[in-house]
Structure 1
Amino acid sequence: MLEFIALLAVGVAAGALNAVGGGGTFVALPALVAAGLPPVTANASSTVALLPGALASAWAYRNDLVQVGTTSRTALTAVGLLGSALGAGLLLALPSESFRVAVPWLLAFATVILAFGRSISQLLSKAIGHPVNMSAKTVLIGHFVLAAYGGYFGGAVGILMLAFWSVGLGLDPAKGNPTRVAQLAAIYATAAALFLVASDVWSYPVPVLAVLLGAIGGGFAGARLVRRLPARALRGIVLTTAVTMTVLYFLRS
């Protein structure tokens, strides 16, 4: 019972983090490993467990979605579903150790981009003589790669997504956060469907259920809270989350 309550609290924290700025996987995954799940199974289980929380956040944000550049949200979602399916398939078919080694560096890169993305975008604009504005094709290609990463590992995919949009489109992280949450839900949904069919997630129903239930409440409450925060405060929370998760993951590695 104590373990169930602890994992329930982990789920609340992970769901709230995903709603605010990303990083929920870095809370849920170590907790599931500590509960006795093998690392790859814990990775798949965290995706399954965090899906309902992501959907709850997406529902809370449903009226705040924005278009990413000139790319339609339908095209972005479709590409995200395909990329996530590829990534989830790779997780089930390939060893994950080498990819995990790269994760702290990906996080560090994303954190730098988040911190200085708008400045970088402005410098690039001055250098080329016009505003940086990725084409819809470039946005879709980048989103496919990020979705594949999200299906394979999931950690910080939302942070990387905001960083990509910030540099390539000058999109403010606070304004883009609701769309990030919606795309994250789509990525989780595809990967979770494959994991439920092809992995051994069903072998650990109690830990997964505890995180899942907590993530629903945390995801919805986090999204409702974020909608009341000013843009500057939200940017600060997103950046603080990114820095914290980067440091923790380097220490863990």
Structure 2
Amino acid sequence: MPEILLVLLAGIAAGALNSVGGGGTFVALPALVAVGLSPVTANASSTIALVPGAVASGWVYRRELTPVGATSTTALTVISVIGGGLGAALLLTLPAASFDAAVPWLLAFATVVLAFGRRLSRAVSSALGREIGISSRAVLIGQFFFALYGGYFGGAVGIMMFALWGIGLGLDTAVSNPMRVTQIAAINLSATALLLVASDALSAPLVLAPMFVGALAGGFAGAHFARRLSDRLLRSIILTTAVTMTVLYFVRG
């Protein structure tokens, strides 16, 4: 029972974190390892278990989706689905530590961009005398790599999306959060389709089920909470999460 309660609470926290700004994997994964799952199995299980939270959050946000610049929402979602499936395939074929060395630096880069990206973008625009921005093709290329990473591991992938969309397109955090949540749901659903068949995540149903339920509750409640936050407050929460996760990853590494 203590283990089930731990996993349930971790699922609630992870679902809520993902709906607000990201970082749920950093809560779910250690909890699953703590109750005895191997790192690879825990990674696959956390991806599967967090799907209902992402879907619940996406449902809450369904009427608030805003396009990412000029990029087609359909094209962005298709890229997320393809990348998420390929990322899950990498998880099943590559050593578990393959991306460990790169993840802290990716998080650090995303954190710096989140903190200073808008100022830098405005400064460059002022110096050039025109607005700067990335093309739809660049958005899709970036999304493919985010989805690949999301299907493989997924920790803070939403924070990385915020960073790219913020500096490249000037999107407000609160405005882009519904699309971020929706794309994470697409990535996780695609990855889950493969992991359910090819991984051993279902070998521990008594561990997976409570996290599944917790993530559903946390994702639904967290999305309703996030909708009431101003862009400034939401950015502050996300930036705090990003800094914390980056520090923890460097300390762990």
**TM-score, normalised by the number of residues in structure 2:** 0.97
Cα deviation, 1:92-124, whole Å, max 9, x if unaligned, reads 111131311211111111111111111121123
**Is the CA contact (8 Å cut-off) linking 2:110 and 2:163 kept in structure 1?**
yes
Contact kept, 8 Å, 1:69 with 1:133, in 2: the verdict is no
Amino acid at match of 2:126: K
Matched residue, 1:20: 20
| Aligned pairs for 1:212-251 within 5 A | 212-251=212-251
Q: SS at 2:83's partner residue?
A: helix
1:128 positional shift? 3.7
Kindly indicate whether the alpha-carbon contact (under 8 Å) linking 2:39 and 2:96 is maintained by their aligned counterparts in 1: no
Map of 2:148 onto structure 1: 148
Report percent identity of matched pairs.
63
Distance in 2 (CA, whole Å) between partners of 1:149 and 1:179 is 18
2:82: which partner in 1? 82
Is the Cα–Cα contact under 8 Å of residues 7 and 207 in structure 2 kept in the other structure? yes
| Greater CA drift, 188-197 or 82-91 | 82-91
Letter in 2 for 1:68: V
Paired with 2:144 and 2:202, the residues of 1 have a C-alpha distance of 28
Counterpart residue identity of residue 55, structure 2: L
Structure 1 position 162 matched with structure 2 position 162: yes
**Distance in 2, Cα, partners of 1:33 & 1:221:** 26
Q: Distance in 1 between matches of 2:132 and 2:206?
A: 48
Taking the aligned partners of 2:210 and 2:243, their CA distance within structure 1 comes to: 27
Output one character per residue of 1:165-189: Cα deviation in whole Å (capped at 9) or x when no partner: 1111111122111110000000000
CA distance in structure 2 between the aligned counterparts of 1:93 and 1:231, rounded to whole angstroms = 40
For 1:34, the equivalent position in structure 2 comes to 34
Aligned to 2:43: 43
CA RMSD between the two structures: 1.0
Which is further off, 19-28 or 135-144? 135-144
Once residues 228 and 20 of structure 1 are traced to their aligned partners in structure 2, the CA distance between those partners, rounded to angstroms, is 11
Distance 1:146 1:121 in 2: 21
Match of 2:172 in 1: 172
Q: Is the 8 A contact 1:22 1:157 kept in 2?
A: yes
Q: Tell me if structure 2 keeps the 8 A contact 1:15–1:53.
A: yes
Find the aligned partners of 2:163 and 2:7 in 1 and give their Cα distance.
30
Measured after TM superposition, the shift of residue 126 of structure 1 is: 2.9
Change (3 A) 1:127 1:91: farther
2:181 is the alignment partner of 1:181: yes
Distance 2:251 2:237 in 1: 21
Q: Which runs of 5+ in 1 are unaligned?
A: none
Question: How far, CA to CA, are the matches of 2:74 and 2:60 in structure 1?
Answer: 19
- Give the equivalent residue in structure 2 for 1:120: 120
Q: Distance in 2 between matches of 1:109 and 1:74?
A: 28
Which range moves more in the overlay, 116-125 or 199-208?
A: 116-125
Q: Distance in 1 between matches of 2:40 and 2:63?
A: 36
Q: TM-score, normalised by structure 1?
A: 0.97
Alignment-derived partner of residue 198 in structure 1: 198
Return the letter of the residue paired with 2:212: L
Q: What is the rounded CA distance, in whole Å, between the counterparts of 1:143 and 1:123 in structure 2?
A: 25
CA distance in structure 1 between the aligned counterparts of 2:35 and 2:167, rounded to whole angstroms: 39
Q: Are the equivalent residues in 2 in contact too, given 1:56–1:219 (CA < 8 A)?
A: yes
- State the one-letter code of the partner of 2:159: I
| Deviation >6 Å, runs of 4+ | none
How many equivalent pairs are there? 253
Q: Provide the secondary structure at the position in 1 that maps to 2:133.
A: coil
SS in 1 for 2:36: coil
Unaligned runs of 5+ in 2: none
Q: Name the SS for the 1:155 alignment partner.
A: coil
Tell me what 2:94 maps to: 94
